[in-house]
Amino acid sequence: MTDSFKDKIGKGGFGTVYKGRLPDGLVVSVKVLSESNGNAEDFINEVASIGRTSHVNIVTLSGFCYERDKRALIYEFMANGSLDKFRHKQGSEAKCPLEWKTLSEIAVGIARGLEYLHCGCNTRILHLDIKPQNILLDKDFCPKITDFGLAKLCKPKESTVSMMGTRGTAGYIALEVFSRNFGGVSHNSDVYSYGMLVLEMVGARKNLDSEASHTSELFPHYVYKGLELDNDENVFGAITEEEKEIARKMVIISMWCIQTNPSDRPSMSKVVEMLEGPLHTLQIAPKPFLFPPAQGSMITSQPAEIDTKAILSHEQISGN
């Protein structure tokens, strides 16, 4: 199938991905899990979760191999690789930034995929590891969510899941996943990760890495300041009025998604509605507080302004 594993197309902590071809000629990706990943829970999670799905924005599992010393997953092949490859990088791996319209379409597709996982399956699926590396792009840049190794299943009417320890990737994990003091782990935790992902898409388009790290708490605050100051050109990198509207809409929605209180975040159904609706209907979210509180203190949010064109003072933006 893989011609003796000659064509390697990806590698990570989970193992290595190879390009292969099934007997019927279908080109596939074969993810061979590393031997160091001795716990079979992630593998079983992935097969159990993705095997329940059928959606244009969820990667298709074609088959799997499960033996005592060898485990592999066979997926549909995605010609444009992961969204991660379109972030700013130096050297031979660097790719041209995606256009704003394409970024918007990708954001909508990911939102539709999460909406399906949260309320379109008989069993609700929480992905719990949404990040650029886990979004694959086909030849037409249609996004597909992959890697369900950390996923949790729950009944549609259940709002939270029990979970030991912390799951996910630093920079995309909601506060309630770190500490249950912020609330229970639920589909709202995926909403937070989605918000951070879309913010990073905006930052990668402008290459903001040199000004504010996209994996730190500073990055959302930096973008939020540009949003409130209506500083589209400097922060978002948009040029035309259409691009500015797309960028502003993506940032406003992202800020709602990363609210500290999980109940303040919109559902993915609402996110899709917001993405496909007009900009003037969107309210600016409260500035999110992404730093953990001091001992004995409570995290609160600043009140949101209703008018999207309202401009706060510099002191309000910086939190002083």
d(CA 279, CA 134): 28
What is residue 270's predicted lDDT score, i.e. its pLDDT? 97
Q: How far is CA 51 from CA 71, 127, 131, 151, 186, in A?
A: 16, 14, 21, 12, 21
Torsion, CA 113, CA 117, CA 118, CA 121, rounded to 10: 130
- Per-residue pLDDT of 111-134, as tens digits, reads 999 999 999 887 889 999 999 999
Which CATH fold would you assign to the domain 83-318?
Transferase(Phosphotransferase); domain 1 (1.10.510)
Residue 253 has pLDDT above 90, yes or no: yes
Q: What are phi and psi of 206, to 5 degrees?
A: -100, -10
Helices vs. strands in the chain: H and E counts, helices first = 9, 9
d(CA 185, CA 124): 13
* Domain 8-76 coded CATH 3.90.550.10: no
Least confidently predicted of 9-13, 24-28, 209-213 = 209-213
Q: Is 129 a catalytic site residue?
A: yes
DSSP 208-242: -TTTS-TTSTHHHHHHHHHHHTT-HHHHH---SHH
**Of 24, 42, 84, 129, catalytic:** 129
d(CA 244, CA 155): 40
Least confidently predicted of 33-37, 186-190, 213-217 = 213-217
The two tokens of residue 106 are: 């990708």
The two tokens of residue 242 are: 């259409």
What is residue 129's predicted lDDT score, i.e. its pLDDT? 92
d(CA 219, CA 203): 9
Domain range list for the chain: 8-76, 83-318
266 and 256 in contact (C-beta within 8 Å)?
Answer: yes
- Per-residue pLDDT of 80-120, as tens digits, reads 999 988 875 544 455 667 899 999 999 999 999 999 999 98
